[in-house]
Chains A and B, each alone.
Chain A
Amino acid sequence: MEMIKTQGLTRKFKEFQALSGIDVLIEEGDVYGFIGPNGAGKTTTIRVLATLLEPSSGAAFIDGINVVEEPYEIKKRVGFMPDSFGVYEGMRLREYLDFFGAAYKIPLKKRRAIIDDVLTLTDLAGKADLFVSAFSRGMKQRCCLAKTLIHDPKVLLLDEPASGLDPRARAEFKELIKTLQEMGKTILISSHILSELGDMCNKIGIISDGKMLAQGEYREILHQIRKARDLRLEVIEGADLAEKALEEDPAIEDFTRSGDEFHIQTNMGAIEISGLLTRLVESGVKVLFLEEIKGSLEDVFMHVTNGDYGN
């Protein structure tokens, strides 16, 4: 089921065209990584989806509801975590969540139990009586996420959620996202720090200068970009023999040698790669390892933004 959909979304700020016909399609339960350089249009798109900004043209739908026409219904379904957020100076964590619980019109009787659940989920249960202004950056992020979850939204729009976090807090945040995905939430996460998103998202959208350059399953895009498989071979003995074997193999498209290490490009499948290893060993090469180099989100991003994708 389509949970988030935009059609030809545009937004202009005076002379600046922030979005130029953005089409996004996110299915229910997806974790969608929205990546792009600073100023690409990620935040603008998210703000349109969160009803904070009206598009200049085009349409946006969440759970089949038009964002511009029925913002109240959208607000019930969406949890929005902005990239920069403030906390109320004089409020304790429980009061802060109580405040937003009341703001989302959660009945008082249910509110206490919901707050307890959200605090447990975000691992803040022991901090309920502390002032939010005294929290560290990581705790403030979790506090904001707790606030975002208070009305149990179907869709989470997280704008740069892990920026400024230390590695430990970042790892904890990733775990939290996985838990939320298991709970069936549809999550859109924007970031320009690609290592954050690589192992969190099943789909990605790459945006630059207000245009969507590529979108879809992460693995699919990676496969399309990397037309050949990249292998790395390192030998202990018989590097010359290995070089000769690779030269003679018609399935090897290209390779480079650096001492006892080879970087190979091939269209072979998994079985053929296994056969290559057998042939190398049979020809007297002592192989230390042969592995496939997995593509990273950085590779995808660099390919797409260089204009390689789709050409």
Chain B
Amino acid sequence: MKLPARRTSYGVKGAPYTFLIPATLLFLLFFALPIGYAVWLSFRKVRVSGLGLGAGAREEVWAGLENYTGALSDSELLNGALRVLGYGCIVVPVMLGLALLFALMLDSEKVRLAPFTRLAIFLPYAVPGVVAALLWGFLYLPDVSPFYFVLDRLGLPQPDLLDGGPLYLALSNIAVWGGTGFNMIVIYTALRAIPAEVYEAAKLDGATPLQTALRIKIPMVAPSLVLTFFFSIIATLQVFSEPTTLKPLTNSVATTWSPLMKVYQDAFGKGDIHAAAAQATLIALATLVLSFGFLRAANRRNKQEAAR
């Protein structure tokens, strides 16, 4: 007789809570408290008296929703949001599509050189961001880039990669290059967890490798696809390092190109942590709505499929 799955019984009720103590404690200390403080800061502002020099010139006062209304009516922030949405539409599908493709390829039976390619695709993750501006400067700037050199020799047109439309491609490329390996590994590990019996059954039914991939593997790694999608959305809405990397190389990337760059600028450049906190809270809320909305939709679909 098969026991019902996952039933807590005979005195193990306290166990999950005990297991979760470390995580909860760390969360309270390093996430909840700072987030709370940041939100609290977003309702305050600094008032300056007189010339503002010397002791006692500045004091923190209550600001109510001033920082929020300021953020919502700030055209820089809104433009940044639009830019980032466009950027996300390129990055997320391409990066996850590639990650899925590579993971499936790695998982196929007839693959060769898997350890090498696995390492190679993961390697971009290992290049520190500090080096990135230099690196992409060498690869993107017309005067030094080998690609322009080749295009020049072949007599082909040389688009300015750091301007207008191509700029989005240039930025997306950096993100895709850096992030595909990460997501590939996540999906790949999930693929390895699929029990062998499933494949046996498929083979007995005469499924080709392609059909196995599409009908069996992809649905079975759906949770990890959801995971990577969720975190990709967050990473995209909070994009910061790619535009900051390209900024010194070109006139086309403003200091506030993405919303998070504006937050950084206000917090660290202007020293106005209050406005930055309000903007960050708004960004967090937007991300929350988008990603949890997506998660809810995905879960509903899963339940529907399971019920079938």
Q: Do A and B associate with each other?
A: no
Binding site for A on B (CB under 8 A): none
